[in-house]
Structures are given as C-alpha cells and as structure tokens.
Amino acid sequence: MKKLITSIAICLTILTSYSYSQQKDTIRKRNTIYFEIFGQGLINSINYDRLLVVNEKSTTSITIGFSHWGYLMSTSENKVTSTGIPISFNYLYGKNNHNLELGIGVTQMFTKIEMDMTSILSPLTSLFSEEITQIKSIDQISTTYFTPKIGYRYQQLNGGFCFRATLTPLIILRQIDNASANIGNDVSNFSTSSSLITDRSVKPWFGISFGYTF
C-alpha cells in the first residue's frame, strides 16, 4: 500500500512539473521590434509593438515608430527630407501564430523642401542694391495622417521571427505649410499659411514588415 501511494505521489509530482513547464513555455511574448517598408511611415519606419490584453482568440497591442527618409531632386542644393512618428492601436484575431490585424492610427510627418532658386531668379538680382550670390527657398510642411489598417500578422507565441502585410490607406487630417526665402544672408518669410484640409480623399497604401518578437 505504501509503495502504491508513493508511486502515485511520484506520478502526480512528475505530471504537475511537466504541466507547469508546458504552461511556462507557452507564455506569450509581448514585445516586437520590426522594420516596415511603406506602411504608416509612408516610405519606411522602425517600430516597437507591445501586446496589451492577451486572450485565447484575440489580442490588443499598441505600436509607436520612427520614420526618416530623403532624396535629392537634382543637386545637393535641391532636396527633400521627411521625419515621421507613426502611432497605432491594433486588434489581433486568431489562434497560435496567425492573426487578422485591424488597427487605427495617426502619423505625424514633418517634411522639409529646400530648393536653390539662384539660376531661376538671376535676371532679377539687378533689382537689389547689392550683389546676390544665392537665393534659396525652404518649404516646411507638417502633415497629420489618419492611418486605418487591415492585414495579416504572423507572430509566434514563444517569440522569434515576425511578419506583417497590411493595407494602410492614408487620409490627410491637417496640413500646415510654412515657406521662407533665403536671399544672401537675409531670411524673410514671404508666405505663411495654416489650413485644415477638408478634402478627406483616401490614398491607397500598403506596408510589408519584418521583425523579431521577444
């Protein structure tokens, strides 16, 4: 009898330890860092995603990222640079590693356009009392985008490789345009405008992401 009780106790101990081990191994990893091509950052972005509420079939998360890109239009004096901060709240539906992803978000973009106007306006330089060596225009645009999304997310429960593919239409909510002209060493604001965009046209867009969950 004692041997039977001892054997049962040993079996229960082993089963309990195994169950605890399995439960510990299946605790879902909540943090993801991923790089997105296009998407909320328009051209590119690096993002951090944190799972908030985790249920059996659904999960919520919040994402914040950083975007920076630029290009030369013709010379080093004519260039466009943009910096953005995408933020979104996401709802994931699915079991195991495969999820339908729905989300709402906003992206704040700051764009700077610099152009050398010297060659274009050179015939007018005779109107100035002193010789003008450079005429440069600087346009600074602040744009707020509303970015809903729907797509697919592959995110492993125990961490590791993560993949996302989403449709992310861009809707301009607000845009402020500040323009200035740099004539020689003097800077004068020739126009400043602040406007709330009323046209809510949808611009189709998409994003592809690769990352790591830990």
Q: Which of 168, 197, 37 is nearest to 104 (CA)?
A: 168
* pLDDT at site 13: 56
Q: How far is CA 5 from CA 1, 2, 19, 110, 205, in A?
A: 6, 5, 21, 72, 66
This prediction has a pTM of: 0.76
Cα–Cα dist 139/38, whole Å: 23
Q: Would you say residue 52 has pLDDT above 60?
A: yes
pLDDT: is 190 or 214 the higher one? 214
Give 154-207 pLDDT, tens digit per residue. 999 999 999 999 999 999 998 888 877 666 555 454 555 566 666 677 899 999
What is the DSSP track for 26-43?
Answer: TPPP-EEEEEEEEGGGTT
**Encoded tokens for 1:** 């009898």
